[in-house]
Copies of this chain bind each other. A is one copy, B any other.
Amino acid sequence: MTDVTTATGAGWLSREDMDAARERLPILYVDVVPVRVDGHGVVTAVGLLLRAGEDGQIKRALVSGRVLYHERVRAALVRHVEKDLGPLALPRIPPAPQPFTVAEYFPTPGVTPFHDPRQHAVSLAYVVPVAGDCAPQQDALELTWFAPDEARDPGVLAELANGQSALLLQALAHLGV
């Protein structure tokens, strides 16, 4: 239900209205690959959440969520990082709005590598270094940091839902690690 929370009344949608919109419009999302970096900007670890899905299955996930009405994309990035990693994560939001890729989650599997049974979501994907203390929040059960090589392990990738393994691999490729 975190998706329907918003700081201003303007962006509020009832569960029913949101469900209706989800059948009619692509919904704008952000995906965040949280990373630890050293003083040269080299990625030393990638953070993956452990979540209980709607079907009760435990899956790994990236930080991800909807952009609200009248919300800047960068405000959505801060909000979702803090929602999932806690208020002390100290995310370093990229200064430029250019995402490293755009992930198109289709309700029909197979159109793209990304799949979301609930909706057609189009997600702006960013790598976000976090400098502070991270602790899983709300519906996230655990946060695990993987070295870039470990994150690429087929066993880890298989635990990511909705095609986010493809997005993680795209992020690692973009990072050159």
Contact = CB atoms under 8 A, between A and B. Distances in A.
Nearest to A93: B41
Interface stretch (A48-56, A70-78, A136-144): A70-78
Interface in A55-107: 67-75, 77-78, 92-104, 106-107
A47 B112 CA distance: 22
Give the copy number: 4
Interface size class, chain A: 35 or more
Contacts of A157: none
A147 interface: no
Given A25-B25, A107-B70, A99 B102 contact: yes
Contact of A104 (B13, B73, B104): B73
